[in-house]
Amino acid sequence: MNGEKSRLAAWGLRIAILGLVILALGILAQRFELVHFRLALMGLAGGAAIGLIGAVISAIALVISLVSSRSGVRSAIAGLVIGLLVAAPVGQAMIAGSKVPAIHDITTDLANPPAFDAVIALRGEDANPLDRAEPADLAELQQQAYPDLKTLEVSEQPGKAYEAALETAREMGWEIVSSNPEAGLIEATATTRIMNFKDDVAIRVSESGEGAAVDVRSVSRVGISDMGANANRIRTYLYALRAKLGVEG
């Protein structure tokens, strides 16, 4: 029995490590564009599922080992920890994604979103379209999911607001693709840290009364759902811009 219980813990650890390896391969494949992004995402999902199985087996082995005072505790704990570390991030992302609509083009101005120009050539033939035609109820879905995303109104002159908007975009770590102070337009590309996904951002600063209005649009190059990433990016940017301009709210 001692040997059998030790083998259960060992198998839990092996399965958890296998999940970690598959997860890492999926990340590397996407970062270096070795496979289609959907295949890389399947690798992440598969690695997480295998890691979860390893964690469950390790948990069972741990309980058995503790109750019967048998060997295998260390292997069981290692398998449980590794399995959870592999499964948890992917699981959290999936849960978060299930709570938001399957859309990937988010803007603060639903009636007149900031347009892209210079970025178009960088997006590639397989990238998501920028016409906001699909789904047909895109604006309604965004409004329901992210009612807080609105045009930022500031009391600064448009030129000063534009300079702050451009500086904030740079501080976000985005690659500035184009900046046109005369038109009040900024185009940039944001790259995610782990998976190296690229999303494009358009910022428009326009005159509004005695101040300026700042609108932001963030669009994923690939994928039907952005898991809420574009909305979070816009929120983070506007928060930083408000702080830079000394705007409350």
- Is the model's pLDDT at 70 over the cut of 80? no
- Would you call the peptide bond into 158 cis, given omega within 30 degrees of 0 as the criterion? no
Q: What is the mean pLDDT of residues 227-241?
A: 97
How do the domains of the chain map onto residue ranges?
A: 2-98, 105-245
DSSP code string of 75-115: HHHHHHHHHHHHHHHHHHHHHHHHTS-S--EEES-SSSPPP
Q: What is the mean pLDDT of residues 40-57?
A: 97
The position carrying tokens 């928060």 is 239
H or E element at residue 166: helix 158-171
Contacts of residue 25, defined as CB under 8 A and 6 or more positions apart, other chains included, come to 43, 47
CATH 3.30.530.50 correct for 105-245: yes
Q: What is the mean pLDDT of residues 4-24?
A: 91
- Is the model's pLDDT at 79 over the cut of 90? yes
Going by C-alpha positions, the residue among 236, 231, 211, 207 that lies closest to residue 220 is 231
Query: In terms of C-beta density within 10 A (0-12 exposed, 13-18 middle, 19 or more buried), how is residue 34 classed?
Result: exposed
pLDDT at position 28 is 96
pLDDT digits (tens, 9 = 90+) for 164-180: 999 999 999 999 999 99
CA distance 160 to 244: 11
With b meaning 16 or more CB within 10 Å and e meaning fewer, what string describes 57-81?
Answer: bbbbbbebbeeeebebbebbbbbbe
Residue 5: pLDDT band with limits 50, 70, 90: low
pLDDT digits (tens, 9 = 90+) for 202-212: 999 999 999 99
Inter-residue long-range contacts of 20-26, CB under 8 Å, 24+ positions, other chains counted: 20/47, 20/51, 20/82, 20/85, 20/86, 21/47, 22/46, 22/47, 22/50, 23/47, 23/48, 23/51, 23/86, 23/90
CA distance 30 to 121: 21
Separation of CA 14 from chain center: 30
Separation of CA 92 from chain center: 12
pLDDT at position 1 is 42
CA distance 153 to 149: 12
Q: What is the mean pLDDT of residues 34-49?
A: 96
The tokens describing 61, both together, are: 């082995």
pLDDT at position 195 is 93
Beta-strand relationship, 211-220 and 175-180: unpaired
Going by C-alpha positions, the residue among 186, 208, 188, 206 that lies closest to residue 198 is 188
pTM, 2 dp? 0.90
- Is the model's pLDDT at 190 over the cut of 60? yes
CA distance 163 to 176: 13
pLDDT cut 90: percent of the chain above it:
91
pLDDT digits (tens, 9 = 90+) for 134-150: 999 999 999 999 999 99
Q: What is the mean pLDDT of residues 121-131?
A: 95
Query: Dihedral, CA atoms, 74, 77, 80, 85, nearest 10 degrees?
Result: -100
